[in-house]
């Protein structure tokens, strides 16, 4: 029996409509009243109250998985006669919904999606966390190319059959999604065949799937396979058999090339902390005034080299030099590559040294200008913080500015001292950060608003969290300048 939704409220969650049900629980669309956001609430059915221990065990398993691609669990409540948990309402369209609309995708886009699914499953594998079977309904395609997955973790250890099960499932179900007569068709279909086990002695793994997808993305960005039409090249009058043979040869060469590049998977890195929720309210500003701010979430760390590398891969896959954040961007700016990017990335991938500085993929990205930072934020469906939001994140519920010692340039997962009590890392040191909007320099109250970078850095710690530098030029790049992002609450 389904309970009535009218005037029902579970804790701080006001129920709106029933979204789904099974033999164990109801799934509600609900509003979290305290922060005015929509969430999903799974409520244990009244007649199944004897299974509350198993229900909560699955909830704890989901809550233990923290990853930017996987939906979050917010809260669990167990009281006499009541047992439920609230979790994230993922935005966008599911892959299943897109399939029903009959809308195929380019191989390059499917490769990105499949790589993201691989990343999420590698997280489950690293935690030895069991998961329920993956379905197309669990893969969400959000705005600006963001891909998120439903949290499928369940109680219990992961069994050896779970990854092959999900890989084979996608190898079968993704075939109808591949757009015909597009670049990369043969390569991606070959990968799907391998995922199904075609011609293989043993199943391929998530690290291998991820590696193959990455190579497909890179090759399609660098070597588009559309039939050439320029004068002097093979024309469209060539016999169809010629195109078939040529396409097959190129595809096989590409497959061989990326197959040879795939080695053993690298060890899983510690997960990055989740963005920190800042409630609506009045907050102290850097100029000792107060500002009324709406609720938002601010990234706990500066954007890392690894995160920025994924963004650049998305730009490359789009076959455009600048795919995001192009408003007001100088015409002479032709890419979002940071200074000395190939050397920086190569050193980070090897946990090596760059300009006498130890560096990893979890080190903050540096050498980026304001437009690079804004473009990344746009890609994440986020934005750069205002200085008032940055300072509000620093204070949160603290009435005075916390005494945070400036930190060195370290991987964000290694920072121990340069962090606030609620988990914001690198506010006093590590790298200084770009702010999203121009502000008034208090030293020149009648002048125009100018751009600002905020927070001390490992090269210029200055006044730590109070350090600010006013600029007239957003094209500044430095080896101690990075950024973090904020997400608006909807």
- pTM higher than 0.75: no
Least confidently predicted of 207-221, 290-304, 454-468: 207-221
Predicted confidence (pLDDT) at residue 68 exceeds the cutoff of 90: no
Does residue 257 have a pLDDT over 50?
no
Q: What is the DSSP letter of 327?
A: T
Residue 458 has pLDDT above 80, yes or no: yes
Q: Which of 139-153, 235-249, 353-367 has the highest mean pLDDT?
A: 353-367
- Confidence band, pLDDT 50/70/90 cuts, at residue 103: confident
Which stretches does DSSP call E strand in 6-162?
9-10, 13-21, 25-32, 37-44, 73-79, 82-88, 93-94, 129-131, 139-141, 147-149, 153-157
What's the CA gap between 393 and 396, in Å, rounded? 5
- Residue 40 is predicted with a pLDDT of 96
pLDDT tens string 28-47: 999 999 888 999 999 999 89
Mean pLDDT for the stretch of residues 476-482: 96
Residue 445 has pLDDT above 80, yes or no: yes
pLDDT confidence bin for 323, thresholds 50/70/90:
low
For the chain, percent helix, then strand, then coil, each to nearest 5? 35, 20, 45
Mean pLDDT across the stretch 203-217? Answer: 86
3-state secondary structure 341-368: HHHHHHHHHCCCEECCEECCCCCECCCC
Flag whether pLDDT at 402 surpasses 90: no
Q: Which residue has better confidence, 274 or 429?
A: 429
> Per residue in 190-201, pLDDT tens?
899 999 998 888
Q: Quick one: pLDDT band at residue 265, thresholds 50, 70, 90?
A: very low
Q: What are phi and psi of 444, to 5 degrees?
A: -140, 70
pLDDT for residue 443 is more than 80? yes
Q: What would the DSSP string read from start to end of 170-193? A: HHHHTGGGBPTTSTTHHHHHHHHH
pLDDT at 272: 83
Q: Is the pLDDT assigned to residue 231 strictly greater than 50?
A: no
Banded pLDDT at 4 (limits 50, 70, 90): low
Q: State the average pLDDT over residues 159-186.
A: 89
pLDDT at 30: 94
Instruction: Give burial (CB, 10 Å; 0-12/13-18/19+) of 364.
Output: buried
pLDDT of residue 239: 39
Q: Residue 194 carries which DSSP code?
A: H
Give the pLDDT score at 267. 39
Query: In the predicted model, what is the mean pLDDT of the chain?
Result: 84
Q: Is the pLDDT of residue 84 over 80?
A: yes
| Strand pairing class (481-482; 432-434) | parallel
Q: What is the mean pLDDT of residues 373-393?
A: 92
Return the structure tokens found at 341: 């990017």
Question: Alpha-carbon distance 272 to 67, whole Å?
Answer: 7
The position carrying tokens 């957003």 is 474
**What is the C-alpha to C-alpha distance for residues 442 and 447, in angstroms, rounded to an integer?**
9
Integer Cα distance of 360 and 343 in angstroms: 12
Does pLDDT of 290 surpass 60? yes
Confidence of residue 324 (pLDDT cuts 50, 70, 90): low
pLDDT tens for 113-160 read: 999 999 999 999 988 999 999 999 999 998 777 899 999 999 999 999
Residue 357 burial class via C-beta count within 10 angstroms: exposed 0-12, middle 13-18, buried 19 and up = middle
DSSP 222-281: HS--SPP-STTS--TTS-HHHHHHHHHHHHHHHHHHHHHH--SPPPPPPPPPPPEEE-SE
What is the DSSP annotation of 125-146? Answer: HHTTEEEPPP-GGGEEE-GGG-
């Amino acid at each position: 029996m389904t309970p009535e939704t009218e005037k029902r409220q579970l804790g701080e969650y006001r129920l709106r409509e029933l979204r789904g049900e099974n033999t164990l629980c109801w799934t509600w669309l609900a509003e979290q009243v305290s922060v005015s956001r929509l969430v999903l609430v799974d409520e244990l059915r009244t007649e199944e109250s004897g299974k509350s221990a198993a229900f909560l065990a699955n909830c704890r398993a989901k809550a233990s998985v923290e990853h930017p691609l996987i939906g979050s669990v917010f809260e669990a409540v167990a009281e006499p006669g009541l047992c439920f948990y609230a979790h994230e309402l993922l935005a966008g369209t599911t892959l299943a919904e897109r399939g029903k609309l009959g809308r195929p995708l380019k191989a390059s886009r499917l490769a990105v999606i499949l790589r993201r699914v691989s990343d999420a499953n590698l997280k489950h594998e690293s935690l030895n966390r069991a998961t329920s079977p993956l379905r197309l309904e669990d893969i969400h395609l959000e705005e600006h190319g963001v891909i998120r997955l439903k949290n499928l973790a369940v109680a219990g250890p992961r069994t050896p059959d779970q990854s092959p099960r999900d890989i084979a499932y996608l190898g079968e179900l993704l075939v109808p999604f591949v757009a015909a007569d597009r670049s990369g068709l043969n390569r991606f279909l070959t990968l799907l065949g391998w995922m199904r086990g075609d011609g293989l002695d043993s199943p391929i793994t998530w690290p291998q799937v991820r590696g193959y997808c990455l190579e497909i993305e890179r090759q399609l960005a660098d070597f588009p396979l559309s039939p050439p039409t320029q004068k002097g090249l093979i024309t469209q009058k060539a016999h169809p058999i010629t195109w078939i043979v040529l396409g097959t040869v190129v595809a096989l060469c590409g497959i061989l090339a990326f197959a040879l590049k795939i080695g053993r998977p690298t060890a899983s890195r510690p997960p990055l902390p989740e963005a920190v929720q800042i409630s609506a309210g009045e907050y102290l500003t850097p100029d000792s005034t107060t500002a009324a701010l709406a609720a938002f979430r601010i990234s706990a760390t500066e954007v890392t080299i690894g995160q920025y590398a994924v963004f650049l891969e998305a730009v490359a896959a789009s076959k455009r030099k600048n795919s995001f954040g192009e408003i007001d961007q100088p015409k002479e700016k032709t890419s979002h590559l940071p200074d000395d990017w190939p050397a920086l990335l190569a050193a980070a991938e090897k946990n090596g040294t760059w300009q006498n500085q130890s560096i990893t993929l979890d080190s903050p990205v540096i050498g980026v200008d304001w437009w690079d930072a804004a473009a990344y934020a746009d890609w994440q469906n986020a934005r750069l913080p205002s200085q008032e939001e940055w300072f509000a994140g620093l204070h949160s519920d603290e009435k005075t500015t916390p005494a945070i010692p400036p930190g060195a340039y370290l991987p964000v997962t290694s920072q121990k001292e340069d962090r606030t009590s609620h988990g914001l890392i690198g506010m006093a040191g590590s790298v200084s950060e770009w702010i999203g909007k121009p502000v008034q320099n208090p030293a020149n109250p009648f002048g125009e608003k100018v751009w600002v970078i905020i927070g001390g850095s490992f090269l210029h710690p200055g006044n730590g969290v109070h350090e600010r530098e006013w600029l007239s030029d957003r094209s500044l790049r430095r080896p101690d300048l990075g950024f973090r992002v904020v997400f608006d609450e909807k």
